[in-house]
Chains A and B, each alone.
Chain A
Amino acid sequence: MNRRVVITGLGSITAGGHGAVGLRQTLRQGRPLLSNIERFNGHASGTRDAGQVQDFKVREWMKPMLARQMDRGTHFAFAAFQLCLQDAGIETQDIEPLRTGIMLGNAIGGMDFGESQMYAQRMFGPQGVSTYQAIAWFYAAAIGQISIGLGIKGYSKAFVADRISSLNALGQAFRVVQEGRADLCLTGGCEAPLVPFVYHAMECSGRLSASRYLPFDHDGDGFLLGEGACFLAFEEYEHAVERGATIYGEVLGYASTTDPTVGNYELSSAEDLARAVSLATDQAGGGAIDLVAADGCGRAADDLEEIAALKMALGNDFSGAAWTAPKATVGELYGAGNAVQAATAALALRHQETYPLVCGNNTMDLPFAAEADDAELQRALIVGRANGGMNAALVLGTCPAAI
């Protein structure tokens, strides 16, 4: 007796610009928008490129007094959330408070705010620390600020699970709408990891590339980070149709699995990843996958495993799928990265097009497009992989009534 869940809006703030239009433009161009990290101001030696949000003025989204209470990641979330509502054609006053939720993925928390305050504590003692520390750092901060700002009172949660945080959030949002606990759930993630201390920790984890972020390239040695936020509006089908919403696509299946045998900074075996994909595609009622919005973490050995897992899970259908790895254009948004992949898949389904891959000289043998192209797409798969062997997979489809 499950209800149908459709995607009726997108909103993002990334290096790839603002909103669905900005993201689509970036994806179509397929050029990486990563550059030397300006915020470090020459500090943190050895720093490399990252996807940095440009032309973002906090005051356009909130009052300065409110902005001071928030971490940079929450600023992005606050803005991306509103862009998502706009794109979905929902005015703030039309929100049904108790039937609307926020489901957010975030891995690092408000460390931009937190780092400065830890420093202040060392310099001036506890009383030198901001009174906003308690509400700026923790993981549900963005949920609180958004719900207060927009009057949202429904089922709202924050998920933390390394790089699959936001896919966990999307999965839960799907369930909550499907099972009737909300009619609308804006879901995605936010992350602001371009903080010297966080950046160094990421480097120490060994997952960052020493040069370029080249997904599915035999020379790839890791990803580069990005900052930003990305939300998708998951809405109950009848609810969406009734208000005449534009539908990007339908959410059809979600699953999550774990490989408990790998190390702290290693990814799951192909078998356990394949299991997540199979569970999600089965739930979606089978059918061929036409587009893979891949994790593409940029380390060759892991990307080969991702390919192997999809071969395992999709069988004969594997060769029919187009591939895209959108995080290479805007950087890996870490706890929010999967939301960017999902937004990419939703755009591709809506506009029936594929996006080019950021390519090096030694790209793996996969059906990657060199340029954005028209395509007939029915189903898209989003793959999520996290350190310590956590996996998740989400299946989206075109919504028949919408075409």
Chain B
Amino acid sequence: MKQQQQRRVVVTGIGAVSAGGIGVEALWQAVQEGRSLGREMDHFDMAGYKTWIGAYLDHEVLREGRHGIEPGDEARWDRSTLLGLVAAREAFSQLGLEGVEATRCGCCVGTAIGGVGHMEEMFYDSILPEDDLDEDEPPDYVRLKNDIQMDWLHGYLCSTTSLEIARLHGLRGPVSCVSTGCTAGVDAIGFAIEAIRRGDADLMVTGATEAPITPVSLTAFDRIDAVSRRNNRPDKASRPFDRDRDGFLIAEGAGILVLEERQSALRRGAPILGELVGFGTNCNAHHMTGIDANGLLLAKSMELALEDAGIPAADIDYINAHGSSTPQNDRAETSAYKLIFGERAYQIPISSTKSIIGHPLGAASALELVVCVESIRKGWVHPTANLENDDEACDLDYVPGQGREHAMSWIISNASGFSGLHSAVILEKGAAQ
């Protein structure tokens, strides 16, 4: 077995911020209830958009003085960094870095678009009001508002969340950011797994964060009809694997995991919540936003993860799907599961967490892995919300309606995204200490 020859990677902490609220418990409660959290957005003027629904935290939740947010933090960083820091605080157990060298601790938190919101604010603050703009004459930012201290670089960079987590917790090992669109969460986690296995670090803070409810970011998805237009029923908009799905539900959130080398975790008495045994990734070279209907390359990414874990497909008890609620993804994903699991595909429960908390881009797969850690520990899988009408191309067991008890030893969680990227990670139920 491959994994016996190498350093093993366990999960010792999880943290979450989602439309369900702050904390893993709020996330777990939301998926337990199994109702979609989509609602109308009022973050900015929605005129001109074809979609104005999303899943997000109540506005008053993240304010200074709460959840460790200090005065000035909101202006200093992008919201994605705030979300990441809040989730990271929860993920660090009370042990902190006790019993592990700071130089052996790193951080890699992924994101798809990072500090775009922060940057947009700087941009629109620094150009003239609408009426004074000249179509043919691009603005001269320096001349217009030389008095503005445009500190947007630090707020904008995708690596800022990783860096701020490193600062807060005093991590001195490798700090970076994998920014691969909607697979960023699994990809960052994969990077962290590999870093620990090969001995670059004994502890890695990883996962992903996203705050994409901004004018420019919503425009990007709105313009290509990637988001659901079910504006009259936002709670029904995210409906993965349902015949009437029409796009994803944009959302914000952060999922953070603390991963550690198993021996190091045991030595310092860190709680072992599960073990990450496999990571696989590839790209489909097919289309920037599309996915091959037969799911061949998507299946390949999961095969690579199984190979990496050294377990047969037959061992997988549960699938946390990408399940984005776009017509093409859910069909391709279903095909991919059939390719890997054959007839058994019909027996494995599959949930889409996005049916409940929406799709926080890069953060989605990180939050989904947090859900998987809870699922495998509690022996319970959550339902896919809004699965009401059968789609003959999506005929597997997506746990419609109600969640259920289900004992699991191995879970696979996969992600797909723009640029044709596919990634998958395998979680094993951690052996008792």
Contact = CB atoms under 8 A, between A and B. Distances in A.
B219 A133 contact: yes
B219 A160 contact: no
Given A125-B47, A154-B283, A196-B141, 12 more contacts: A44-B142, A115-B123, A117-B216, A126-B219, A134-B418, A148-B287, A155-B282, A157-B191, A161-B159, A175-B194, A258-B166, A260-B175
Interface stretch (A200-208, A219-227, A365-373): A200-208
B221 A134 contact: yes
Contact of A144 (B114, B133, B283): B283
A370 to B, nearest CB: 36
Contacts of B49: 126
B374 to A, nearest CB: 27
B150 A204 contact: yes
A21 interface: no
Contacts of A122: 124, 127, 130, 133
A129 B223 contact: yes
Interface of A: 43-46, 69, 97-98, 107, 114-119, 121-123, 125-127, 129-131, 133-135, 137-141, 143-145, 147-148, 150-162, 164-165, 168, 172, 175, 179, 196-197, 200-205, 255-261, 264-265, 272, 275, 386-390
A160 B103 contact: no
Interface stretch (B57-65, B86-94, B177-185, B347-355): B177-185
B167 interface: yes
A140 B194 contact: no
Contacts of A98: 282, 300
Contact of B200 (A117, A139, A160, A255): A255
A260 B179 contact: no
A152 B178 contact: no
A155 B279 CA distance: 11
Interface string B132-148: 01010011111100000
Contacts of B152: 201, 204
B224 interface: yes
B416 interface: no
Residue of A122, A161, A257, A272 with highest tally of chain B CB at under 10 A: A161
A158 B179 contact: yes
B420 interface: yes
A193 B166 CA distance: 27
A318 B172 CA distance: 25
Given A196-B140, A390-B175, A121 B215 contact: yes
Contacts of A116: 138
Given A126-B219, A153-B282, A160 B158 contact: yes
Given A151-B285, A156-B283, A160-B114, A257 B103 contact: yes
Given A44-B142, A46-B142, A148-B286, A161 B177 contact: yes
A134 B223 contact: yes
B288 A97 contact: no
Contacts of A125: 47-48
A313 to B, nearest CB: 14
A260 B163 CA distance: 7
Residue of A117, A141, A155, A205 with highest tally of chain B CB at under 10 A: A155
Interface in B151-167: 151-154, 156-160, 162-163, 166-167
20 contacts: A45-B142, A123-B133, A129-B220, A131-B224, A134-B220, A134-B289, A137-B220, A140-B417, A140-B419, A143-B283, A153-B283, A157-B180, A201-B152, A256-B173, A258-B175, A260-B171, A265-B153, A265-B154, A388-B154, A388-B167
Given A137-B220, A196-B139, A119 B130 contact: no
A256 B176 contact: yes
A389 B177 CA distance: 14
Nearest to A262: B167
A97 B285 CA distance: 9
B281 interface: yes
B419 A143 contact: yes
A160 B159 contact: yes
For the complex of A and B, the 4 pairs showing the least CB-CB separation, nearest first, are A144-B419, A125-B48, A160-B158, A139-B179
A159 B106 CA distance: 15
Contacts of B388: none
